[in-house]
Amino acid sequence: MKTVTKRRWLPWAAGGAVVAFAAILPFLNIVVPGVLPGATYTPGTLQLLALSLLFAALALSYNLLFGSAGMLSFGHALYFAMGAYGLGILLQSTDLALVPAMGIILALVIVAAYLIGALSLRVTGISFAMVTLAFAQAGNVLIRRNPGLTGGEEGLRLATANVPDVLVGVINTRNLYWVALALVVVVFVVVTWFEHSRAGHVVAATRENELRVRVIGVRPFVVKLITFVIASALAALVGMVYLLLQSGATPRATSADFTLTILVIVVLGGVGSRWGAVVGGIVYTLLDQRLTAFASSDAVAALPDVLRIPLSEPLFILGTLFILVVLFLPGGIAGIVGRVGDRSRSRAAARDRVEEAS
Amino acid sequence: MSETILSVRGLSARIAGQQVVEDVSFDVPDRGVTALLGRNGVGKTSTVKAILGLIERQGTVEFGGERIDKEPTFTIVQRGVGYVPEDREVFSGLTVAENLRLAERGGAVHRERVAALFPDLEARASQLAGTLSGGQQQMVSLARALLNENRLLLVDEPTKGLAPLIVADVAAALAAAAKLAPILLVEQNLQVVRQLASTVVVLEGGRVIHTGSAQALLDDSDLVTSLLGVHGAKSEADS
Amino acid sequence: MSTIVLLLITGLGLGALYFLVASGLSLIYGLMGILNFAHGSFLTLGAFAGWELARRMGGDSWVTLFASMAAGAAVGAIVAAATEFLLIRRLYNRHIEQVLVTVGLALASVALFDGIWGTDPIYVTGPAWFAETTEILGARVPNDRFVLIAVAVLVLIAMVLFLRLTRYGLIIRAGVENRAMVTALGIDVRKAFTLVFAIGGAAAGLGGVLASHYFGYVSPQLGGSLLIFAFIVTVIGGLGSLTGAAVASVVVAVLQQFANYYLGGTGDLVVVLLLAVVLLVRPSGLVGRLA
């Protein structure tokens, strides 16, 4: 963890170049057939790219929780939904401007995450996973059962009265794309900063050996709670931008399936790898979108039932792909790259192999 | 010279990525008791677990001339290895009878032998093993190993945490067991080692630093002090 | 009074369903340390298998019902055993990855069911007696509840006898307590793994057929919606405890029914709160160990 090498600036420079390139994409006319639905300057493509960036940011926040701190939560969607729904409700029922409204929601989510985290972290392991799942389910029920406030099963529409005009409408998709890009960068920096802070080191040590951390006189509970709150606040931020990008939110964003999707992304990218989470989020979103297009294509429709039925279900293909990755590619995408690049001591891969000594 | 039943060469093992046994080599003869000694935390228990494949290991382990270091635990045991683990590890939610029934491997099962050695267990057959005293649990653990026809017994700290009177009982049971099969014994109590063991293997920092006759080691209190970190004579008086 | 009786018996019926799912989850977790997200899919597949058979046999008779229950249980057992044998076993002792594989299987299988049977509910009918009610203390109780309760009780008894009286039952009980020591006694515990998956899958498949009669339909989402509550039941009962699962199934389902009726449809919330309270007060669940 502490192997800070002299080449430390290299990945940052590369990352900066990638971000700069991503930032000018809306001005370019790049066509990638089969991957993107259209040229990079078109709103449809930018919308998809922005969505994939949001999933990348969400995966980063979950990776902080699961990959870095080893906390398997099944309720991460709750904080994403708090951001999306909280902001949506505040915008539709008050006259607050966008930024103050976001600030208020962020503060509320931090308080909520602190309280729920403090309760949930009294247990560990699978029990922790279950408590977080339970709280998320409660949120899911509340949102579906209060259609007056949340739109119920129909979902919530974004009230645009107090949203700056530059962030509204199809013609402004590229502005939202830049917001999403900025968000990924912010989340990446926050997560990196935290993982390299003292608390970050302690929480990583907690994952390996809680007892040893106790011995050096730090209460694992406190650093775990800090991690939980930071990851939740970041997820809420992503949820808020998601609301703006999608012009609304649906109850699916609060479901256990949604958390599982984030988990799938993190595992695909490589547990414990930050840029793996980013790549995983982008790959997953693009794959999901393209598989949906592929499923309704004529080529699939012409196939016999045995092939047509599985191939016309994107989730079937993604689920199968996920199983294959878990079985055959421990370390996910980051693991592959790590092996190819002969960095055999890839943290992610090593971590996955920590076996129960029974 | 007797034949070798267990031959360990270059054995290493890790627990959760941490090296606990490093390049350990020794032989266990096919009769008598071989004591595996060393200070606390030098990897004695881990060595035994590595031999059995209970933890991830590397190196060569031959049992009766056949390689067993790639085999899963249960087939190693089926080859004729009886295991009496540290802390007894009886199934506390099962009765004494169930604990023993579970241990029966098929083939020749020596229920009479066990009944004769541990008459107390018969009386407590339907008692939950978790409600037994430490000494009684140790008897169950030993009985599980002695039920079957074994070619080697791996016995890990059988007297740990037991009252002196019970220690004598356990030592007597081990002496009887040693007549049936060779034993590799991990033991802190040097009195018991003196009573039972013919050969010793001493570990330090996960490596073997001394092998030889038990008598010769225990009679040399300077050597005992330097190898085991205890004062030989004093520890004898203590136990 | 009649309302209370109706709620109680309906709660018991729902609890029976929870138990059929949770018993397998609990055994699998207890022995192998795996939280099986694919368990809902075993249930759904059992329900579809039962429906497909009933559709072909026709006649909504008792024979059809029992045949479809047998088919559901058999399909559940086979698919579950295959899951353990082909996927879980490759990841021996890597619990997180094992859970992840079941997550992937759950996602993929529900999508596959969508593709095969469509996303809309398919309505099922049982024997005519099912649609009738029986009057108990003034309450008119739908008859399918009694079948559910009876089957769940029989399954519980069968499981307890199996665990108490057979060698594999002994291995499973010991394995739940200390798996490493079971292998150190020369026992190939992997056979027990396949077996608990098969048993759990059979109970879930059977539960699927009964759930389709209880709710009146079968859909690809059937298993997933029951799975969350079964998880909650499993944790409240104490992971690995069969009696705990039975007690918690009844408590959770009855509480849910009463809260839904008297507290304005808050049953799901109350259950979630109960889980939080139980975990915080007694982290190991109501019953600590397999009994």
pLDDT in tens, A71-120: 889 999 999 999 999 999 999 998 899 999 999 999 999 999 999 999 88
Nearest-by-CA chain B residue for C190: B74
Q: Do C90 and A327 touch (CB under 8 A)?
A: yes
* Tokens encoding A324: 């294959």
Rounded CA separation A85/A83 (Å): 6
**Contacts A–B by Cβ distance under 8 A:** 12
For residue A254, the domain's CATH number is 1.10.3470
On the question of pLDDT at A249 being above 80, the answer is yes
- Asked, for residue A97, whether it belongs to a domain, the answer is yes
Asked if A327 has any chain C CB less than 8 Å from its own CB, the reply is yes
**Nearest CA among C277, C274, C234 for reference residue C258:** C274
The alpha-carbon gap from A357 to the nearest alpha carbon of chain B, in Å, equals: 6
CB atoms inside a 10 Å sphere around CB A240:
27
Q: Residue A320 — very low, low, confident or very high, per pLDDT cuts 50/70/90?
A: very high
Q: Do B77 and C189 touch (CB under 8 A)?
A: no
- Asked, for residue A102, whether it belongs to a domain, the answer is yes
Query: Which range (A84-93, C194-203, C244-253, C267-276) has the least confidence?
Result: C267-276
Task: Tally the residues of chain C.
Answer: 291
- In chain A, residues with a C-beta closer than 8 Å to the C-beta of B17 are 350, 354
pLDDT in tens, A205-243: 887 766 666 666 667 888 899 999 999 999 999 999 999
Give the per-residue pLDDT at A20: 84
Residue A168, amino acid: V
Q: Do B208 and B201 meet the contact criterion of CB atoms below 8 Å apart?
A: yes
Longest pairwise C-alpha distance within chain A: 66
Which regions of chain B are under pLDDT 70? Answer: 1, 230-239
Q: Do B77 and C184 touch (CB under 8 A)?
A: yes
Number of domains, chain A:
1
Asked if A37 has any chain C CB less than 8 Å from its own CB, the reply is no
Q: Residue C193 — very low, low, confident or very high, per pLDDT cuts 50/70/90?
A: very high
Q: Do C103 and A260 touch (CB under 8 A)?
A: yes
CA distances from C225 to A266, C40, C146 (A): 25, 8, 22
The mean pLDDT of chain C is 90
- Asked, for residue A61, whether it belongs to a domain, the answer is yes
- Asked, for residue A125, whether it belongs to a domain, the answer is yes
Rounded CA separation B228/B216 (Å): 14
**Contacts A–C by Cβ distance under 8 A:** 123
> What are the structural domains of chain B?
4-88+150-238 (3.40.50.300)
Residue B6, helix vs strand vs coil: strand
Rounded CA separation C21/B34 (Å): 51
Contacts for A147 with CB less than 8 Å, ≥ 6 apart:
A153, A154
Asked if C183 has any chain B CB less than 8 Å from its own CB, the reply is yes
Q: Does an H or E element contain B4, and which? A: strand B4-15
CA B74 to chain CA mean position, Å? 17
The alpha-carbon gap from A24 to the nearest alpha carbon of chain C, in Å, equals: 36
Residue A187: CA atoms inside 13 Å, Cβ hemisphere, count? Answer: 32
Q: Do B35 and B193 meet the contact criterion of CB atoms below 8 Å apart?
A: yes
The mean pLDDT of chain A is 84
Q: Do C97 and A326 touch (CB under 8 A)?
A: yes
Q: Do B16 and A357 touch (CB under 8 A)?
A: yes
Average pLDDT rounded to a whole number, residues C111-129: 89
Asked if C125 has any chain B CB less than 8 Å from its own CB, the reply is no
Instruction: Report the b/e string of A292-302 with b at 16+ CB within 10 A.
Output: eebbeeeeeee
Nearest-by-CA chain C residue for B130: C177
Domain of A104, in residue numbers: 13-352
Give the per-residue pLDDT at A6: 55
- Asked, for residue A186, whether it belongs to a domain, the answer is yes
- DSSP lists the bridge partners of residue B61 as B8
Residue B71, helix vs strand vs coil: coil
Q: Do B15 and A354 touch (CB under 8 A)?
A: no
Q: Does an H or E element contain B8, and which? A: strand B4-15
Going A160 to A284 to A174 to A14, the CA torsion angle's sign is positive
Rounded CA separation A285/A56 (Å): 9
Give the per-residue pLDDT at B160: 87
Nearest-by-CA chain C residue for B49: C184
Rounded CA separation A58/A231 (Å): 9
Asked if A323 has any chain C CB less than 8 Å from its own CB, the reply is yes
Rounded CA separation C210/B238 (Å): 68
Q: Do B16 and A358 touch (CB under 8 A)?
A: no
pLDDT in tens, B180-219: 899 999 988 888 899 999 999 998 877 788 888 888 888 8
> What's B65's DSSP letter?
T
Which A-chain residues 180-239 have CB contacts (< 8 A) with chain C?
Answer: none
Give the per-residue pLDDT at B234: 42
Rounded CA separation C160/B182 (Å): 40
Nearest-by-CA chain A residue for C282: A123
* Tokens encoding B190: 């040097």
Give the per-residue pLDDT at A214: 63
Residue B72: CA atoms inside 13 Å, Cβ hemisphere, count? Answer: 15
pLDDT in tens, A118-159: 988 888 877 788 888 888 888 888 888 888 888 888 888 888
User: What's the CA angle centered on B176, arms B172 and B178, to 5 degrees?
Assistant: 115
